[in-house]
Amino acid sequence: MLVLVSVLLVCSSAFISPALAAKVSYFDGFLQNGNFEEGPKPTNLNKTVIKGKHSLPKWEISGLVEYISSGPQPGGMFFAVAHGVHAVRLGNEASISQSIPVKPGSLYSLTFGASRTCAQDEVLRVSVPPLSGDLPLQTLYSSNGGDTYAWGFKATSKVAKVIFHNPGIQEDPTCGPLLDVVAIKELYLPMPTKFNMVKNGDFEEGPHLFHNSTNGVLLPPKQRDLTSPLPGWIIESTKAVKYVDAKHFNVYSGQAAVELVAGRESAIAQVLRTVPGKIYNVTFTVGDAKNGCHGSMMVEAFAGKETLKVPYKSHGKGGFKTASFKFTADTPKTRLTFYSSFYHTRIDDFGTLCGPVLDQVMVLSVKH
């Protein structure tokens, strides 16, 4: 156990505040052989197919699993491995798994590179029993095959079994998702403060970000707040939203923000504890990520019976504006929701979805 924890500590988070780091110790980094660069022995390979349950170092495999090298493939296909040289491909009903030490009751986020390899609809099922979630991979958010996802879970025991499974049955049994890197991060659970009723309103607490990736991390749809890879927030839309970092994107404040990349199908929400009849003020910033996303953007915000539409003209070169509105609470719990009104793509790459950036969400009661 100590050996694995030491491995996970190799990539310590750059986004934990010094004050928080002094109180707790979180691990943040690759799973063992999480980039799959340690491959099977040549005797355990039949061309690309791995032979033997334990032949992929540090992983257990089931079914038809291929060990893939980036580049042209037999049959004229080309597989892009965005985070290294090697990856695994999960055929019909195939899976890979690894058991890791965790802290019962703690929240964790898995970050992994995943992409489809065939024209058919493909799904990647991510599980840490008893939790499980299906990620549809038919929507490509970047044209270079470098989509990276995050999925959250709350540990229920001292050991968690992380499973990646292809539940699909395709005519070609080798068709299935490509998995090219896996990391894990223990997440801090933020709480409301007297300065902000919104938990994690600055989005500083979030999933592991690969330092050599310029695509950000996709937060898949239908993530509940108790297990969301973005603590405090619900991803309640039918498409993903993107978690972006200040190293590769324009972020208004701090080290991270959220990019609403799929129009009205890309929404985040948080349920606030409110006092019926009391008035509250909501403030937030809207801008662009300085990633070539251009055009007339609009973010819509909802709380109680109030709605605010915030237009933003983007030239794709960075910039932000602050907006605010007031609402009167009708119930002890009020849902605060944000989404983008329109779809956008990058001006230099029409295959890459993008959108307005949301940051610094704050809610405070208005004193009469």
Q: Per-residue pLDDT tens for 5-38?
A: 333 433 333 333 333 333 344 678 999 999 999 9
Predicted local confidence at residue 145, as pLDDT = 64
Asked whether the whole model's pTM tops 0.85, one would answer yes
> Matching CATH topology for 2-186 and 197-215+224-365?
yes
Q: What is the CATH code for 197-215+224-365?
A: 2.60.120.260
Say yes or no to pLDDT of 271 above 50: yes
Of 189, 191, 195, 175, residue with least CA distance to 73:
175
- Residues 200, 233: contact at Cβ < 8 Å? yes
Predicted local confidence at residue 93, as pLDDT = 93
Which runs of consecutive H residues, i.e. helices, occur in 157-262?
Answer: none
The architecture CATH gives domain 2-186:
Sandwich (2.60)
In 10 A of CB 248, how many CB atoms? Answer: 17
Q: How confident is the model at residue 83 (pLDDT cuts 50, 70, 90)?
A: confident
Q: Show me where the domains of the chain are located.
A: 2-186, 197-215+224-365
Q: How confident is the model at residue 121 (pLDDT cuts 50, 70, 90)?
A: confident
Predicted local confidence at residue 352, as pLDDT = 82
